[in-house]
Amino acid sequence: ADILFILLLLFIRSSTRVLLSVKRLAVRKPGKWTNTLYTSIASLTVAGGLCAVPFKQVENLSHDSLIRRAVSLATDSSSTFLSQTTLAFIDAITEYSKAVHTLIALQRRYLSSLEKLTPAEEDTVWQVIIGQRAEVTERRDQCRRFESAWFSAVKLCETAAEAAYTSGAEHASITVRTNIQVAQSQVDEARKLSVDAEKMLIESEVMEIERMAQYAASVENNNEQEEMPEAYLRED
């Protein structure tokens, strides 16, 4: 009986310890589940690409601070896109202008030596001119392609600047708007070169048409003069 009583006491004591442990676990459980939940959300957010920084580094920051950080990244990336497209667009305009000036020089040289060329030489020059015209067309298409990308970059920067301003990142907004103004100024300067080159090309083509018409009329007159004596002989 004594042994049974002792075993009963040991069982009751063990049961009490178990119940106390369970109670303590229940008290701590909500906190642990909360930490686990936040950790899972942070991991999911980072893995899904919705957050640019790990949760442990930003858990003490406000939503406004995180938004300003994110919008700063957006303005930086859009400014980089703008600078790259601006550089590509300006280079394309420059190469297009060079191709146009080369075509103008070839046309003028051809017109100045029109009466001195043999048929074979004239054909060779025309092949060079045709090839240069093809290059001008290719350069013009390249300009249009980069111009489209540049316009997209400007619109993206304008959207990023607006988002930065409404999010409280005024410095980032001012910076990206300044970048837009600088890019537009650089592109406008480059466009002046292409506009001037296109005007010169139009003038050169008009001159070519007039000169070719004069040359054709001159050749026709020469042919008529060569045929005149034979006509007079037939009438006699």
Taking only the tens place, the pLDDT of each residue in 31-52 is 443 343 333 333 333 333 444 4
Task: Copy the structure tokens of residue 87.
Answer: 């550089």
Q: What is the mean pLDDT of the chain?
A: 75
pLDDT at 179: 95
Residue 100 sits at the vertex; the CA angle it makes with 150 and 186, to the nearest 5 degrees, is 35
Q: What is the pTM of this model?
A: 0.65
Taking 50 as the threshold, does the pLDDT of residue 68 lie above it? yes
Helices 119-166, 170-235: crossing angle, 10 deg rounding: 160
d(CA 86, CA 160): 17
pLDDT bucket at 189, cuts 50 / 70 / 90: very high
d(CA 14, CA 8): 10
d(CA 116, CA 127): 17
In the chain the first and final C-alpha atoms are separated, in Å, by 168
d(CA 195, CA 51): 46
In the predicted model, what is the mean pLDDT of residues 222-231? 53
Half-sphere exposure at residue 204, Cβ-oriented, CA atoms within 13 angstroms: 20
List pLDDT tens digits, range 94-129. Answer: 999 999 999 999 988 888 887 787 888 888 988 999
d(CA 43, CA 36): 10
Dihedral Cα 13, 17, 18, 19, nearest 10 deg: 100
CATH no. for 67-223: 1.20.58.70
Largest CA distance in the chain: 168
pLDDT at 131: 95
117 DSSP 8-state letter:
-
pLDDT at 77: 93
In the predicted model, what is the mean pLDDT of residues 77-83? 95
List pLDDT tens digits, range 129-182. Answer: 999 999 999 999 999 999 999 999 999 999 999 999 999 889 999 999 999 999
